[in-house]
Structure 1
Amino acid sequence: MSFKMPMPNQTPLYHAIHRDRYERQEFIREMEKATGRRILVYIANLSHPESAILREDIAPFCEIVASLDENSDVDLLLESPGGDPNAAETLVHTLLSRTRHLRVVVPQAAKSAATLISLAADEIMMSDTSELGPIDPQVSIPTTFGYQYRPAQAFLNGLELIKREHAGGQPLNPAYLPFLQGVDAALIDFCHKSIEHSKRLAVKWLSRSMFKNDVRAARKVAEQLSNIEKYPNHGTVIDHQEATRLGLKIHYRSFADPLWQAYWRLYTKYLVMMREKAGIKIFESSTSSIMI
């Protein structure tokens, strides 16, 4: 009697070792069939100190984008604390080169430069767990623990606080010395220019997507998202209601909605996997997968 059943292309041991990845990719393929849209995943481990958007992300992101046909309708499942706006710009250009309609899906947090990426979308899918943030960029700042990413505006605010205290005739607090080591005029200028660059990117992408050819409306939203009086904290939560009030095109789904539940189930697979394997970021599609 002959025995026939479909087998994976990979060898048995290799498939068993990477079974979680193949399970996720099969789930992605089933979702793509149901939605008629291609799905790309960029998930960063928010608790990892090296999770910021960097230029090193460009190559793996390009790998998953390469799996798209031209003029694809795309859902980008995005979670990131933000990072380098220049790197974010390249990620967006890479993605838009093959995209007809872009929807960014935010399961939990897309902050700072990740919010910038979301502004390039035609719409943003959010639920009750979702949050965007102000678009103040993060820059590499010298600290006693080496170079670390900090919000540019928070860094400038810290300098201003030290300046005010010292101007009153008080001696410099020794606690500020580690903060001031390595700080020079070039770094301060870079912070100011990074903030302005983020605003320009926001206007550029909003004019292309949610506010087509309406630069005035795009500029108004960009100014609000970069307003430190309105959003004084880098981690400020901009939920779906606040994002809608700002004028962004938000596709709200209740947590019980079947489509949102499918995306949430996919997201939790990455959440658990990243914690178990101490991963920093994962880039994945139905055919490609890179974890760093």
Structure 2
Amino acid sequence: MTDAVKEPGSLAKTPLFEAQHADRYARQELIRTYEQLTGAQLIVLIDQIFARGLTVLQELLIGLDRSRELHVLLATPGGDGEVAVRMIRAMQARCTRLVIIVPDMAKSAGTLMCLGADVIRMAPFSDLGPVDPQFQVGNSLAGAKEIVAAVATAEDRVAQQPNSYPLYSALLADVTMLMVEQAKAAITRTEALIDEALQCRTEPPDDTERGRLVQQLRRPLIDDPTDHAATVGPKLAERIGLPVEVADLDSESWTIIWQLWTRYFALGCYPAGARAIYEGRLASHMR
């Protein structure tokens, strides 16, 4: 028996290229399996929510069938609320119904994105959080409330103990007055962003219902939390009026989601991780 002879140019990928990207192909195959199982289209977004991600997100939306549901595996520590609303508008324009799946956490701007979804699918251990705009301070993120409070505390303590100025000056070296004013403005705009996100839903609440829902969400998501790390689990999220669906952890669809999530986690792609990824069956971008 002789080996079959392949025609020149018949290889889709060279062996080395395929080996270098094998993990990516395996993840994309899981995405295709999920899509075949559910009939929905699935994309993955694991990143901080800032303007740089908008173009990459658009790459994932190319070629989607607008007559089908779009499911989004989302994990993020937060970011810019204005960008979150733009992202949710972009995704809602590409589907009949938007389902956001939270296998870990979607904080701040991520929670804002969830407000614009038609369904938020959470596990018992999934977590949303306060809608507190975030800013890049040095190499990390800081909530607007935290920035304003830190500066106010520093001013108060320096007024009481002038010799402590060098200490607080060093601690807040990455915070500028412009950033403080931007943080104050962002806090003021948070309620309007919640309203805008709710309007993104496939069937948004009418003006009266939306106004009632905004006020209902204001206290647990804006006013009460003093710490950006405050948690909003599925039971609380449902109680305050969000369209939560608790995932069946034994279902085949969740098993695929968890297989995907653990692969991203192993790569260092998780909410506070060093790597970000945008992935679908046709596109894959990692940094």
Q: Would the TM-score normalized by the shorter structure come out above 0.5? A: yes
2:74 aligns with 78
Question: How far is the alpha carbon of 1:192 from its aligned partner?
Answer: 1.4
Alpha-carbon distance in structure 2 between the residues aligned to 1:23 and 1:184 = 45
The equivalences for 1:171-186 within 5 A come to: 171=162, 173=164, 174-181=166-173, 183=175, 185-186=177-178
2:181 aligns with 189
Question: How far is the alpha carbon of 1:225 from its aligned partner?
Answer: 4.2
TM-score if structure 2 supplies the norm length? 0.87
Alpha-carbon distance in structure 2 between the residues aligned to 1:135 and 1:126 = 18
Q: Residue 235 of structure 2 is aligned with which of 231, 238, 241? A: 241
Give unpaired runs (5+ residues) of structure 1.
Answer: 45-51
Give unpaired runs (5+ residues) of structure 2.
Answer: none
1:125 aligns with 121
Alpha-carbon distance in structure 1 between the residues aligned to 2:152 and 2:231 = 25
Alpha-carbon distance in structure 1 between the residues aligned to 2:279 and 2:172 = 40
Alpha-carbon distance in structure 2 between the residues aligned to 1:28 and 1:166 = 55
Describe the superposition over 1:27-46 as per-residue Cα deviations: whole angstroms up to 9, x where unpaired: 111110110100010123xx
8 Å Cα contact 1:70-1:99 kept in structure 2: yes
2:218 aligns with 223
CA RMSD in angstroms comes to: 2.5
2:205 aligns with 212
Alpha-carbon distance in structure 1 between the residues aligned to 2:17 and 2:80 = 36
Q: Provide the identity percentage.
A: 28
Alpha-carbon distance in structure 2 between the residues aligned to 1:17 and 1:197 = 45
TM-score if structure 1 supplies the norm length? 0.85
2:12 aligns with 9
**Which of structure 1's runs of 4+ aligned residues deviate more than 3 A?**
1-5, 163-167, 179-186
1:274 match: secondary structure: coil
2:153 aligns with 161
1:198 aligns with 190
1:48 aligns with none
8 Å Cα contact 2:85-2:197 kept in structure 1: no
Q: Are the structure 2 counterparts of residues 93 and 183 from structure 1 closer, same or farther at C-alpha, using a change threshold of 3 Å?
A: same
Alpha-carbon distance in structure 2 between the residues aligned to 1:279 and 1:18 = 20
Describe the superposition over 1:245-270 as per-residue Cα deviations: whole angstroms up to 9, x where unpaired: 11101010243333222211111111
Alpha-carbon distance in structure 1 between the residues aligned to 2:89 and 2:64 = 14
Question: How far is the alpha carbon of 1:139 from its aligned partner?
Answer: 1.5
2:161 aligns with 170
Q: Are the structure 2 counterparts of residues 3 and 99 from structure 1 closer, same or farther at C-alpha, using a change threshold of 3 Å?
A: same
Question: How far is the alpha carbon of 1:148 from its aligned partner?
Answer: 4.3
Q: Are the structure 2 counterparts of residues 53 and 149 from structure 1 closer, same or farther at C-alpha, using a change threshold of 3 Å?
A: same
Q: Are the structure 2 counterparts of residues 222 and 178 from structure 1 closer, same or farther at C-alpha, using a change threshold of 3 Å?
A: farther
1:49 aligns with none
The equivalences for 1:41-80 within 5 A come to: 41-44=44-47, 52-80=48-76
8 Å Cα contact 2:30-2:256 kept in structure 1: no
1:255 aligns with 249
Amino acid corresponding to residue 237 of structure 1 in structure 2: T
8 Å Cα contact 1:104-1:125 kept in structure 2: yes
1:47 aligns with none
Question: How far is the alpha carbon of 1:164 from its aligned partner?
Answer: 3.5
1:100 match: secondary structure: coil
Describe the superposition over 1:50-70 as per-residue Cα deviations: whole angstroms up to 9, x where unpaired: xx2221111211100113122
Q: Are the structure 2 counterparts of residues 274 and 67 from structure 1 closer, same or farther at C-alpha, using a change threshold of 3 Å?
A: farther
1:88 match: secondary structure: helix
Q: Give yes or no for the alignment of 1:34 onto 2:37.
A: yes
Question: How far is the alpha carbon of 1:99 from its aligned partner?
Answer: 2.0
Question: How far is the alpha carbon of 1:205 from its aligned partner?
Answer: 1.7
Q: Are the structure 2 counterparts of residues 67 and 281 from structure 1 closer, same or farther at C-alpha, using a change threshold of 3 Å?
A: farther
Alpha-carbon distance in structure 1 between the residues aligned to 2:5 and 2:32 = 24
Amino acid corresponding to residue 63 of structure 1 in structure 2: E
Amino acid corresponding to residue 196 of structure 2 in structure 1: K
8 Å Cα contact 1:202-1:218 kept in structure 2: no
8 Å Cα contact 1:207-1:218 kept in structure 2: no
2:277 match: secondary structure: strand
8 Å Cα contact 1:199-1:226 kept in structure 2: no
